Amino acid sequence: MQLGLDDKVALVTGSWRGTGAGIAEVLAAEGATVLVHGLEPGPADATVAAIERAGGRAVAVHGDIRTDDGAAELRASVEAVVDRVDIVVNNYGAADGTTWEDATGPSWHASYDTNVVSAVRVVDAFVDGMRQRGWGRIVFVATVGATRPGERNPEYYGAKGALPAVTVSLARHLAGTGITVNCVSPGLIATPEVIERFTAQARRRGLDTDWASVERHVLESVMPNHTGRVAFPEDIGRFVAMVVSEPSWHLNGAHLRIDGGAADAVT
């Protein structure tokens, strides 16, 4: 299947590392020109270099989207290198938060601003151009916890849980414009940081530290799913590439879980 991304420009927020880097690399492999985002100049350069070594097209952009001024800086950074943005993948977020006992008004506000308002700022910066061209793709990246939140970090799960509602509202607002809006909720992802954390945990417990053994431990004791595997960032990237593709033109306003069945819920 041809995804129709060869002539598209995609901005992936928070793509200097982890899941965002995996999404950026897959979109570039599918032919898109990818804008690799970091909060400041510098961190995105390594991901850009990796994409270019693989034969893809990528440019580093920056702006601290946690503030209005930072979002304006991102827009200026983007406009300095490309003439449009066709695809926005709002991947940036942070699993910040405390406990129900320790949470405060400021901690709730901070998590919502990081995980929701930052994404809305990016949409506001680039949606008008999509509307004028009659084509666009917007994706919000939430989490399995948007459906099945944990007991800790209530601020984070509360914020991420808002993204499916934001998705539906924005899809309705943009009806008939040629822009689709969808929400993708991954489960546990085998980013380098996650692999390092669980490998260290296995080492402390005297368990085998090869990834197959660590993965089995994670699935048995941390977050089981029905596939019996933990997804890597590029797995999430392939799913996002499908969502933003031309063949997925009729997919709109959806909350799509890619968690191997970990949410274990009907809706």
Q: CATH number of the domain that 104 lies in?
A: 3.40.50.720
Q: Give the separation between CA 5 and CA 33, rounded to whole angstroms.
A: 9
Note down pLDDT in tens along the chain; length 267 residues. Answer: 899 999 999 999 999 999 999 999 999 999 999 999 999 999 999 999 999 999 999 999 999 999 999 999 999 999 999 999 999 999 999 998 789 999 999 999 999 999 999 999 999 999 999 999 999 999 999 999 999 998 889 999 999 999 999 999 999 999 999 999 999 999 999 999 999 999 999 999 999 999 999 999 999 999 999 999 999 999 999 999 999 999 999 999 999 999 999 998 876
Domain shared by 136 and 183, yes or no: yes
On whether residue 4 sits in a domain, the answer given is: no
Domain shared by 85 and 20, yes or no: yes
Beta strands in 129-168 (DSSP E): 136-141
Give helix 192-204 / helix 211-221 axis angle, nearest 10°. Answer: 80
pTM of the model: 0.96
What is the maximal distance between C-alpha atoms in the chain? 59
- 90: β partners: 140
Domain shared by 39 and 114, yes or no: yes
On whether residue 3 sits in a domain, the answer given is: no
Instruction: Provide the domain limits for residue 218.
Output: 190-230
Confirm whether 92 is a catalytic residue.
no
- Confirm if 119 and 13 have CB atoms less than 8 A apart: yes
Which region holds residue 57: left if phi is over 0, alpha if psi is between -120 and 50, else beta?
A: beta
Domain shared by 134 and 221, yes or no: no
On whether residue 33 sits in a domain, the answer given is: yes
Domain shared by 215 and 172, yes or no: no
Domain shared by 46 and 151, yes or no: yes
How many domains is the chain partitioned into structurally? 2
Q: Which of 92, 112, 156, 157 is catalytic?
A: 156
